[in-house]
Each structure stands twice: as structure tokens, then as C-alpha cells.
């Protein structure tokens, strides 16, 4: 009789899920993506290595995410990709690997194959992670750096963990939060505070001797090395930005906007309510696991690592709630901000699964319990996919008039005529990059910058400061698409 191991089941599950998602990308989603950011990021990928090396500076900006732009820009250039498909497949591969890492982490922490397989399937079929895995957005590669960092924590390879947590900042500027939490956690992990307290006692000798003793301690030296490794990527990035712009604190003064309410404000309950709707099983297990953790933390072999997972998810979620309430740092209250920490919510939530399985004496019932949890996950995902009841989350927001405008530009204008528009979708569907196209603002319009302009009802006034009336009164409209998109020229 052939014995099937858990690792084989995990790999088979990943492969089946991969081809199912690939089918959705190719035959259901088509040449579309989730939101304007997807289109803008892909345009940056198309541009960063074009006319090499003159457009390399595109990748250093905070909004462009250097890790995403420079790495994923390579296949776009090599294979001359002109649509989302290639990047969607790469992101799908990245998330498949993330799921396998979560499986390995959970299996090692809980010493239970069933728990590891649940963590794998939860990662594959979590609504937020499923949705992110079939996009062209920046979250997958950012999430990968964090999960790799946590994986090497579990393996006690802290130098590698430090490198990946440091690289996370290049994936998204929010990586600074994770670098800070990780470096503080290392102090706790190595017991540095207890050592410092002991070194400060009178019997430790003169103050200078105490300082030298601290600095020569192997754990303190290792801690300092880890800190340096986490900070190097952001220091190098900021230095390159300084050389390019002359701004000493490039990352911060070129970062997310600090204008309050630029994208609106929200309630403290917005994220919790949507988490319960979109990830009900994981959130219920997460809360239950918290109480189990409080009761049993002294008995847990990986207590410090589970505490780290809890803080990464709950701490980061709280920061996003706070930024949304005060309307700071370009927060639009989007649930995709939490994609990067969902794997940690899943890892921590498995504590409840493990606790339950340990108390089930009948081994056959283990499989039934796991299958029940998996069924709930898949039914929740299906309910979102079909937009049943309150689960009305749109999988894709797609306005066909932007595609029509892009195709009109492609058919009627040469690429040497500059394109100004307020929506990146128009540039994408015109089959251009950012060398002769841009998101325009009022000063370009007022100064009469020559080119073809595409003004949209959705963003035209808010982005450019130009009203419909101003366009209709002062410009000759060449094409009016459903009264939602106005195309005109300035010579």
C-alpha cells in the first residue's frame, strides 16, 4: 500500500489550487485587474528598464516600491510583456510558495501534520489572500519577504531573518513597522534586558567595565549585526534617493502623503467588521487562540514566536485602523493593506486548531474536524465570489469606458504624441508606458502642455482640479465616451 505523506498532500493541493487560479486569471478575469494601482504599477514595470538606464529612477520612489519595480520589471522587459497575465502568474507562484512556507512553519510549531495542512489551505483559500494571489499588485512580493523572515526566525537563522525583514521595506514602506517590531522582539528573544539588568549591578564592576562586558557578549554582538542587516536596505535606498534628488530624508519626504483626509476618514470598526465578514473563520479562531495563548503560554515551546505572530497581525491591523480614523499617510481604508499580515493571523489561529485536536481522542475525528474547517473556508470564499447576502465585495471594479478611451488613443494617435490622463487604465489600454504618458495635473493643462488629454468624470476634478465645465467651455472635445470621458487636444 502506498503511503502518502503530508508534504505530498501539501504540494498536490498547491498545484491543484494553482491551476484553478490560473483558469480564473485567463478565462474569467481576462485583461483586467482590481484597482487603478494595479495599472499604475504595471506601467512602471514596463517603463523602468525601457530606454535603459534613463528610466531607472522610476523604481526608487516610495509609491513604485523598489523591490517590486526592479525585480518584476525584469521579466516584463525580457519577455516584452504588454498585459497583466505574466505578472499575475508570477504573483500566483509567489503566493503558492508563501502557502508552502506557512505549512512548514505551522507544522514545526505545532508538531502536527493536520494543523500544518489546515494552515496551508487557509492560506490558499483565505478571501484576502486568494484575491491578492491573482492580481498584479505589490502585496505578494512584500508578504513573501515577511513570511520568509518569520520562517527563518522559526529555524533560528536570525541573520537571514534580518535580511528579509529589512528587504520588506523595499517592498512597501510599511515594512518599517515590521523592522521595528522584529528588532524589539530580538531583544526579548535573546534575553538582552535581563542580561543588561545583571550587568548594571554593583558586583558587575565599574560602569565602563560593565559597558565593555555588554558589548562583548555574543548575543549582544549578534543583536547588533541583525539590527544593521535590517537597516541596510532602507539606508541604501534613502542614499540612492538622496543622490537622485538631493533630499537628505528622501524616503520620508517623498513618502505617503501626510495631508489629513486626502482619501477620506473612517471608523474604528471599519476594519474589524470587514475582517469578520471576509475572514470569519480565521478571526474566530484567532480570538479563541488568544485566550488559549494567555492560559498556556508558559507551556508553549514556540511561545516567543507565537507572540511575534500575534503582534505582527494585531499591531499592524491597529495601525491601519488608526491611520484610517485620522485620515493620514494616504490611507483609503482598503482591506488589502492587511494582506501582508494574514499569514501571521493564520499561524497564530492554528493554536486553537491544535488545542482542539489534542483533546479529540478519536483520530478519525481529526480528519472530520479539519475537513469541516476547510469546508467553512471554501464556502466563505464561494459566497464572496458570488456576492451572496452581505458578502458583496467586488472582485474587480472595471469601468469599460477607460478601456474604450485607451483603445481610441491607440487607434488615433502615434506614440510620439504625449498622452495626459487622470486614470492609469487609459495609458494601459492604449498600450503605452510612462515615457510619453503621464497622470496630469492642472498646471500642465493651464500651461498648455501640448498633447492629447483624457479627462474622466470619476477622477478628473479631484485629481487634476479641472471641472467638466472648464473642459467643455475652453476646449474642443474630440471624443465623448458615454459622457464619462472627454478627449481633447492642446497643440
386 pLDDT above the threshold of 50: yes
459 pLDDT above the threshold of 50: yes
**Do 426 and 406 form a contact (C-beta atoms < 8 A)?**
yes
How confident is the model at residue 217, as a pLDDT? 61
391: cell is 458578502
183 pLDDT above the threshold of 90: yes
302: cell is 514556540
432 pLDDT above the threshold of 90: yes
Please, which pLDDT band fits residue 206 given cuts at 50, 70 and 90?
Answer: very low
How confident is the model at residue 210, as a pLDDT? 47
193 pLDDT above the threshold of 70: no
As a whole number, mean pLDDT of residues 172-183 equals 95
Average pLDDT, the chain: 89
Please, which pLDDT band fits residue 208 given cuts at 50, 70 and 90?
Answer: very low
> On the CB side of 445, how many CA atoms lie within 13 Å of its CA?
22
- Alpha-carbon separation of residue 325 from 5, 177, 328, 384 (angstroms): 48, 18, 8, 26
205 pLDDT above the threshold of 80: no
**Do 67 and 171 form a contact (C-beta atoms < 8 A)?**
yes
369 pLDDT above the threshold of 90: no
**Considering the chain, what percentage of its residues have pLDDT values greater than 70?**
89
Please, which pLDDT band fits residue 190 given cuts at 50, 70 and 90?
Answer: confident
Alpha carbon 217 to its chain centroid, in Å, reads 37
Name the least confident of 58-67, 166-175, 419-428: 58-67
485-490 and 477-481 strand pairing? antiparallel
Name the least confident of 13-27, 43-57, 371-385: 371-385
Comparison of pLDDT for 367 and 283, the residue scoring more: 283
How confident is the model at residue 373, as a pLDDT? 78
**Considering the chain, what percentage of its residues have pLDDT values greater than 90?**
70
- Name, in order, each residue with C-beta under 8 angstroms of 213's C-beta and a sequence gap of 6 or more: 199, 204, 205
Burial of residue 248 (number of CB atoms within 10 Å: 0-12, 13-18, 19+): exposed
195 pLDDT above the threshold of 70: no
Please, which pLDDT band fits residue 6 given cuts at 50, 70 and 90?
Answer: confident
Question: pLDDT of 319-339, one tens digit each?
Answer: 999 999 998 888 889 999 999
Question: pLDDT of 266-281, one tens digit each?
Answer: 999 999 999 998 999 9
Comparison of pLDDT for 474 and 260, the residue scoring more: 474
How confident is the model at residue 222, as a pLDDT? 83
pTM: 0.92
Task: For the chain, give the secondary structure using H, E and C.
Answer: CCCCCHHHHHHHHHHHHHHHHHHHHHHHHCCCCCCHHHHHHHHHHHHHCCCCCCCHHHHHCHHHCHHHHHHHHHHHHHCCCCCCHHHHHHHHHHHHHHHHHHHHHHHHHHCCHHHHHHHHHHHHHCHHHHHHHCCCCCHHHHHHHHHHHHHHHHCCCHHHHHHHHHHHHHHCCCHHHHHHHHHHHHHHHHCHHHHHHHHCCHHHCCHHHHHHHHHHCHHHHHHHHHHHHHHHHHHHHHHHHHHHHCCCCHHHHCCCCCCCCCCCCCCCCHHHHHHHHHCHHHHHHHHHHHHHHHHHHHHCCCHHHHHHHHHHHHHHHHHHHHHHHHCCCCCCCCHHHHHHHHHHHHHHHHHHHHHHHHCCCCHHHHHHHHHHHHHHHHHHHHHHHCCCCCCCCCCCCCCHHHHHHHHHHHHHCCCCCCEEECCHHHHHHCCCCCCCEEECCHHHHHCCCCEEEEEECCCHHHHHCCCHHHHHHHCCEEEEECCCEEEEEEC
Q: Report the alpha-carbon angle 5-9-12, nearest 5.
A: 135
234 pLDDT above the threshold of 80: yes
How confident is the model at residue 395, as a pLDDT? 61
CA atoms of 182 and 230, how far apart (whole Å): 9
CA atoms of 118 and 346, how far apart (whole Å): 9
Amino acid at each position: 500500500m502506498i503511503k502518502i505523506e503530508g508534504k505530498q498532500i501539501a504540494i498536490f493541493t498547491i498545484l491543484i489550487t494553482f491551476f484553478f487560479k490560473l483558469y480564473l486569471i485567463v478565462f474569467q478575469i481576462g485583461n483586467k485587474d482590481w484597482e487603478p494601482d494595479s495599472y499604475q504599477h504595471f506601467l512602471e514595470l514596463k517603463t523602468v528598464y525601457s530606454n535603459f538606464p534613463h528610466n531607472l529612477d522610476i523604481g526608487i520612489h516610495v509609491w513604485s516600491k523598489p523591490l517590486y519595480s526592479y525585480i518584476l520589471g525584469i521579466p516584463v522587459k525580457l519577455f516584452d510583456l504588454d498585459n497583466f497575465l505574466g505578472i499575475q502568474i508570477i504573483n500566483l507562484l509567489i503566493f503558492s510558495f508563501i502557502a508552502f512556507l506557512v505549512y512548514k512553519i505551522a507544522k514545526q510549531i505545532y508538531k502536527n501534520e493536520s494543523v500544518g495542512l489546515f494552515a496551508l489551505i487557509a492560506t490558499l483559500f483565505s478571501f484576502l489572500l486568494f484575491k491578492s494571489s491573482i492580481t498584479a499588485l505589490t502585496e505578494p512580493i512584500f508578504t513573501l519577504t515577511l513570511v520568509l523572515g518569520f520562517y527563518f526566525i522559526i529555524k533560528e537563522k536570525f541573520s537571514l531573518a534580518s535580511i528579509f525583514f529589512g528587504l520588506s521595506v523595499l517592498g512597501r514602506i510599511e515594512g518599517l513597522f515590521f523592522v521595528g517590531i522584529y528588532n524589539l522582539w530580538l531583544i526579548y528573544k535573546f534575553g538582552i534586558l535581563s542580561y543588561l539588568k545583571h550587568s548594571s549591578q554593583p558586583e558587575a564592576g565599574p560602569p565602563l567595565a560593565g559597558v565593555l562586558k555588554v558589548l562583548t557578549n555574543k548575543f549582544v554582538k549578534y543583536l547588533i549585526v541583525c539590527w544593521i542587516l535590517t537597516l541596510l536596505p532602507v539606508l541604501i535606498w534613502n542614499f540612492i534617493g538622496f543622490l537622485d534628488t538631493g533630499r537628505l530624508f528622501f524616503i520620508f519626504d517623498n513618502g505617503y502623503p501626510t495631508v489629513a483626509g486626502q482619501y477620506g476618514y473612517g471608523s474604528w470598526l471599519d476594519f474589524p467588521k470587514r475582517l469578520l465578514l471576509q475572514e470569519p473563520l480565521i478571526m474566530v479562531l484567532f480570538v479563541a487562540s488568544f485566550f488559549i495563548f494567555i492560559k498556556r503560554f508558559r507551556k508553549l515551546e514556540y511561545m516567543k514566536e507565537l507572540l511575534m505572530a500575534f503582534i505582527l497581525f494585531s499591531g499592524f491591523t491597529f495601525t491601519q485602523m488608526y491611520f484610517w480614523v485620522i485620515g493620514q499617510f494616504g490611507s483609503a481604508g482598503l482591506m488589502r493593506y492587511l494582506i501582508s499580515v494574514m499569514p501571521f493571523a493564520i499561524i497564530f489561529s492554528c493554536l486553537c486548531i491544535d488545542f482542539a485536536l489534542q483533546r479529540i481522542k478519536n483520530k478519525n475525528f481529526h480528519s472530520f474536524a479539519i475537513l469541516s474547517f476547510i469546508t467553512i473556508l471554501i464556502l466563505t470564499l464561494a459566497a464572496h465570489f458570488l456576492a451572496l447576502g452581505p458578502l458583496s465585495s467586488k472582485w474587480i471594479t472595471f469601468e469599460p469606458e477607460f478601456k474604450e478611451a485607451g483603445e481610441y488613443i491607440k487607434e488615433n494617435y502615434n506614440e510620439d504624441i504625449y498622452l495626459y490622463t487622470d486614470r492609469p487604465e487609459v495609458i494601459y489600454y492604449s498600450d503605452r508606458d510612462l515615457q510619453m504618458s503621464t497622470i496630469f495635473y492642472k498646471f500642465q493643462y493651464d500651461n498648455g502642455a501640448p498633447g492629447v488629454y483624457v479627462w474622466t468624470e470619476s477622477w478628473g476634478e479631484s485629481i487634476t482640479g479641472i471641472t467638466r465645465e472648464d473642459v467643455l467651455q475652453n476646449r474642443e472635445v474630440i471624443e465623448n465616451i458615454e459622457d464619462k470621458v472627454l478627449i481633447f487636444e492642446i497643440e
